[in-house]
Amino acid sequence: MTDADIKKLTLADAVQLLASQKISPPELAAAVVSRIDRLNPEMRAFITVIPPENSVQHAPPLHGVPLSVKDLYDLKGVPTTAGSKVFAGRTPKEDATAVKNLKDAGALIVGKTNLHEFAFGVTTINPHYGVARNPWDPARISGGSSGGSASAVSLGMGFGSLGTDTGGSIRIPAALCGIVGLKPTYGRVSLRGVVPLSWSLDHAGPMTRTVQDAAIVIEIITGHSGYTGALTGNISGVRVGIPNNYFYERLALPVEKAIDQAIRSLEKLGAKIIRIDVPGIAIHRAIWLQIASPEAYSYHERYLNKHAPLYGADVRGRLEAGRALLSIDYVRAQRARTRVKEECRRLLEQVDVIVTPTTPIAAPRIEDVNKPWGTGPETAAAALTRFTRFFNVVGLPAISIPCGFTTEDLPMGMQIAGKPFDEFTVLRVAHAYEQAAGWTERRPAI
Amino acid sequence: MPNESGDHTELTPEALDVLQDIQDETKRLRQIDLAETPPAAVFHAD
């Protein structure tokens, strides 16, 4: 198995090769780990690499396929750092439920990926474990907080990864690294054994090269079937909502062109385009901040009391702000969230999915993340969560899939959100577009 | 009785910036009439 072969393979391809014994699990694992060993010193996608000889598994349906997990998930006997020095020496005695489900299905976990410290940020500029660099241009960020997972999947350092998403942390790095990232419905995937950021907003989900691969992983980690079967390629008559408000404002020109073209493709595939007004936009960021900040502080209080200097300055600041907020505003935010969710439920009687850009910009350079982009004043880092966090507030399933490349060969993402627990339709639309567009076949030069 | 939780009392400059941003955003939230809307369910079954 050559490096070039590894770069081309999807998870489904790799499983097929293993199942048909065209390659053995140790051979495939060795090839993947060799690639990690070669690329990781620069790319910083992994915090911990796990030697495969200790844990090669052959069980179906995954037959020992190499995968990774964000270093927020517990993996028995391997440290969970959460991307922080605060958790030094924390070695779990059990697997997170989602990890256990993958291992029971025959996955080989080859490593734990880098992330924005404690998942509280979108750049994965990690002061302790290095910057998880973008596979398409290492001078740029991979996004975050699951930046290491996105980089690993994009570069063939494993055939899929588990990420987490509290404000966009699966979908943003997926968009910036040219892969597929699915944030399922709130509550769909177990968070047991995953270090929390905000209990009310946290979601766990797959990051893969293709929509089919995401469907395979979600079936395994949820224990529910039917996701791969939903990928019929037929979206004739599917009602696609295109927001009039907010989600198409202040886009970088390449993103605007790419998403327009993607919508036209959906229409050609038989989807019915319907213009909609998304409710709750004016208050959704306040809702998110008033819920995420105190919940995050609540979890971290005991660690901040003892180890505050060990935190990176940005994450410490975000956490500490959470202790100075009013409890009445937390309750107000939870009540407003109920209202926006109900309004969304009514909106989703008119359409089957909502389509938006995942991010208004492609990956920024590392030194530019905290500078205004375009004509300002919004910083690049702030822009990255602009279209994703709404779907954490309302808990709807949302996927990011590649929808084009800039002239600098940087990937851009399209976000498709759906009804609660209707990941089936989200995946079906994403898959049909993916097959027609072919963007996921592109690979970085590295 | 302290009005803030935690043993450490000084907010960092970064925290003060974040706090200002949250407080600015929250003004809009406080203007909404929520009538009898209950809070969202915080926890879901595993």
Contacts of A399 (CB under 8 A, 6+ apart): A171, A180, A181, A182, A183, A211, A214, A415, A416, A417, A426, A427, A430
Which residue of B3, B10, B25, B42 is the best one to mutate when testing the A interface, meaning the one whose CB has the most A CBs within 10 A? Answer: B25
Q: Are A48 and A170 in contact (CB under 8 A)?
A: no
CA A146 to chain centre: 6
**Is B29 close to A305, i.e. CB distance below 8 A?**
no
Q: For A70, what's the count of Cα atoms within 13 Å in the CB-facing half-sphere?
A: 37
Q: Is there a contact between A220 and A191 (Cβ–Cβ < 8 Å)?
A: no
pLDDT tens-place string over residues A11-24: 999 999 999 999 99
d(CA A205, CA A182): 6
Residue A363 one-letter amino acid: A
| Token code pair at residue A305 | 């009391």
Phi, psi of A164 (to 5 degrees): -130, 160
User: Which pLDDT value is given to residue B10?
Assistant: 81
Q: Which residues of B touch A334 (CB under 8 A)?
A: 39-40, 42
Nearest-CB residue to B38 (from A321, A323, A335): A335
The span from the CA of A443 to the CA of A68, in Å, is: 19
- Place B44 in a pLDDT band, splitting at 50, 70 and 90: very low
Contact A321 B15 (CB under 8 A): yes
Mean pLDDT of A54-77: 90
Q: What CATH class is the domain A3-236+356-441?
A: alpha beta
Q: Among positive and negative, which fits the CA dihedral A392, A291, A349, A277?
A: negative
A313 in Cβ contact with B17 (< 8 Å): no
Contact residues on chain B for A333, CB-CB shorter than 8 A: 29
- Asked whether residue B45 carries a pLDDT value surpassing 60, the answer given is no
DSSP class of A379: B
B2 touches chain A (CB under 8 A): no
Residue showing tokens 């291992």: A103
Size of interface A-B (CB pairs under 8 A): 110
SS3 A321: helix
For CA atoms A96, A98, A103, A104, give the dihedral sign. Answer: positive
CB atoms closer than 10 angstroms to residue A37? 12
pLDDT at position A51, please?
83
> What band does B6 get if pLDDT is binned at 50, 70 and 90?
low
Contacts of A323 in chain B (CB under 8 A): 4-6
Percent of residues, chain A, with pLDDT higher than 70: 99
**Residue recorded with tokens 């019929």:** A232
Distance CA A416, CA A403 (A): 11
pLDDT at B3 over 60: no
A397 Ramachandran zone, left/alpha/beta (phi>0; psi -120 to 50): beta
How does pLDDT run across A114-133, given as a tens digit for each residue?
A: 999 999 999 999 999 999 99
Q: Are A290 and B29 within 8 A, CB to CB?
A: yes
**Can you give the pTM of this predicted structure?**
0.96
Sign of CA dihedral A262, A249, A314, A127: positive
Residue with token string 């489900």:
A101
Residue B43, pLDDT above cutoff 50? no
Instruction: Note the pLDDT tens digit of each residue in A180-216.
Output: 999 999 999 999 999 999 999 999 999 999 999 999 9
- For residues A36 and A371, what is the distance between their CA atoms, to the nearest angstrom? 32
φ/ψ of residue A132, rounded to 5 = -75, 110
Amino acid present at A49: V
ipTM for the predicted complex comes to 0.90
Decide: A28 and A62 in contact? Cβ < 8 Å.
no
Question: 3-state SS of chain A: helix, strand, coil percent to 5?
Answer: 40, 20, 40
Helices then strands, each counted (H, E), chain A: 14, 15
Asked whether residue A356 carries a pLDDT value surpassing 50, the answer given is yes
Chain A residues within an 8 Å CB radius of B2: none
Mean pLDDT of A103-116: 97
**The token pair that represents A116 in the structure block:** 């924005």
